[in-house]
Structure 1
Amino acid sequence: MKLVHRLYEPTSWPWKRWFFSRNDQTLDSHDDNSFIANLIHVELERYRSITHIRVGNGESTSFWHDHWLLNTSLAQLLSALYSHSTCQHLSVAETQRLTLCAQLRPRLSRSAAEEKILLEDCLSHVSLTAQPDCRILNHSSGTEFRTSDVYKALQTTLQPDPDAARLWKTKLPKKIQFFGWLLHRGRVNCRAYLYHCNIKSLEEASCEDCHGVLETTEHIFSTCPRAAATWLKIQISCRPERLLHPWLLGSELPLPYSVCFDVAMLILWQLWKARNARVFDHKSSSAEDVIRRVVNDLDTWHCRYGKLKDHLKAWRDHLHSCL
């Protein structure tokens, strides 16, 4: 989304000149199959939904798709008139030069004709200046693009994710929370994901220990022999579908549920680190090694749990007894 925002900025970068030379000065063109064009195609609609524009010269503002005249896009508000437009990707400046009638089909439906009268009345109050257009994030305090403002703007359009809330409320270090978020979103950089992103070939996407088996997240954390042996030793059932609900891992054991999710995340984290050690350092880890590292983590981070230290100790003692 930052990349899309920079394309809208008035600054001139070599990569922007290259991009616009392939796309006729518009972000709506889908003819270009470059990485940047594909990225923009994915993010542009969402970016427009959380921004509004203070129009200057109108050169970088989409007449139909940006929020510049009213609180929504003209394509959504005046859908009947938009369906009669023959030039749906023109800027505000280009529309002013061509006039509105020049870009509409000769015969308008009754509803389109009514919307045309309404739009012409609104456009009569618009006057362009020599200043560049200024794009502002909704709910932001200024014009600078800031990640925190993007999240605030998106919260008004996205449904809250209760599963993500569980994850960010754990007392684990941020690096493990971020790992859990990637796992929850299916974006852990396993070889199957890298193959899906065209970074690795299919021949390179196999598990390091299970040749010929595609290295998916389900394989790494559930069915790979190292993972299966780990879960078996600590008496926790981890079927592949349960990875989507890791807070349920270990709920079958007679141990405190208050820290169950944290312990499950630590086990998944150490399985991931064992996988990385095998891939990058060619070091193998047994199920006992994984459990021992989880126990060490519990000893290191027990101070984070305050009144729940005794609950964490119960899990620590259980894992230690499995070694």
Structure 2
Amino acid sequence: MNNKIVLEIPYWVSHYNMLLYATYYYCIQNNYRFEVKLNKKINNGVILNFNNKNSFFDYSDDVLFIEKPTNFDFYFKRSLLEKDFFDNILPLNFQVNYSYNSLSFIKCLDRKILTDQKSRVEVIRALDYFNKITNLSHRAMDISTIKRNDNDYQGRVIFQTRLWNPDNNPSLEEKERRNKQNAFRINTCRLIKKYYKNSLVGIYPDSYSSKIASDLLLDKKSITKSIYFRNLFCSDIAIADDGLKDTPGWKIGEYAFFGKAIISTPISTVVESFDENVNFLKLSDRNSYHEIPDKIEWLIEQKRYSEIGSNNFDWANKNLHPKSYIQRIITIMELNK
């Protein structure tokens, strides 16, 4: 067996972090050779090469395919619909943005990647180990610091989110989607804030949010990624809804990683072994914010949030943690030689 994994990327952006750092972690733990090359022929996504086979990784929010699956041995897609789950097409489950030993990791990258203009932000983030320069919303969480908090916060709820201005997109369909999404997020925050005084809810402050939800704006001093993770760590119940293109965003993966009980709008994409009433409580539809208080009360009763949170922490270890995330990929590629 050739114990070497080679990744090809067109540039380095935060959407690739999970695969890049997970592969790096896996290679270190299993004494594999690790290499990342620049490939400008890739429009988006990442190619993984192992044992003379290749896999394409599609991390887009859209359910549409960014490449032809038949061009690769395997096609792993994050936003995969059940109807597209066949042949060589496989789900990537949830996505989270994490890092591991970033100062050593960048030494494995092709110099052309590090000097590419589109890679500039992630290079700075990787070098900014002590979080002094780039405390931004897409900053990766350090995988070595993630652990389950066994403290009980009496059912504390967290939902810190943002709005999308419908006027910033020319598509009528997208405008409607954003209006629906914004309405859910605003009404959810107001409901939770009204009935659960110990909650951590609010809207990211920007000019648009200030106009339509001024009563919900988060303090600008408390919107850094590090503070958000600290708040998430000290919560029990987390609210999730669809992100861009009506597919799950990064937030729900973070909830699972931190071992939180989850209440979510319906999940339309394939997420393996992530089950209703075991890992999350499902709302009826995209507009059903009025159901949230009853869901919260059910979780608080008999402290059910603790059991579901524990289920999610276990699920994340089996599906999202680098040690298992890449092992699944390698196993699939080895079993289908």
The answer to whether TM tops 0.5 is no
Give the TM-score normalised by structure 2.
0.28
Give the TM-score normalised by structure 1.
0.29
Higher relative contact order (CA 8 A, sep 6+): 2
Query: Of Structure 1 and Structure 2, which has the larger fraction of its residues in helix?
Result: 1
